[in-house]
Amino acid sequence: MSIAFAVVALIGCTAAGCAFHPGVTTVGGGEFVITKQAVSRFSETGEMRKDSLVEASRFCSSKLKDLRIIGLKETQPPYSPGNYPHIELRFECDPSR
């Protein structure tokens, strides 16, 4: 039963253009990264970018610090197998609050 649910959820998410990501990851030196990958080529990076910025801001706010963006990388169209929409946000939490 759980395998069938997982398959149905994956198909539904693929059709809706959901993105998968591991959340905030520490890369060292006080830097963090959020990566998001769409599961189909029919998604756009704009929504993933917005979600990543909100997630990073909340992460830093939870530490009572301000968000400072270090870099933002996005894949560019045309999207094809192996080049699905992808975003990588590098940031740090600035203690100057």
Q: Each residue of 30-71: pLDDT tens digit?
A: 999 999 998 887 888 889 999 999 999 999 999 999 999 999
- Structure confidence at residue 96 (pLDDT): 77
- Nearest residue to 95 via CA among 69, 68, 65, 56: 65
18 by Cβ neighbours in 10 Å (0-12 / 13-18 / 19+) ranks as middle
Question: How many domains in the chain?
Answer: 1
Q: Each residue of 68-95: pLDDT tens digit?
A: 999 999 988 888 887 889 999 999 999 8
Domain that holds residue 83: 2-94
- Please, are residues 14 and 40 in contact by the beta-carbon 8 Å criterion? yes
pTM over 0.75: no
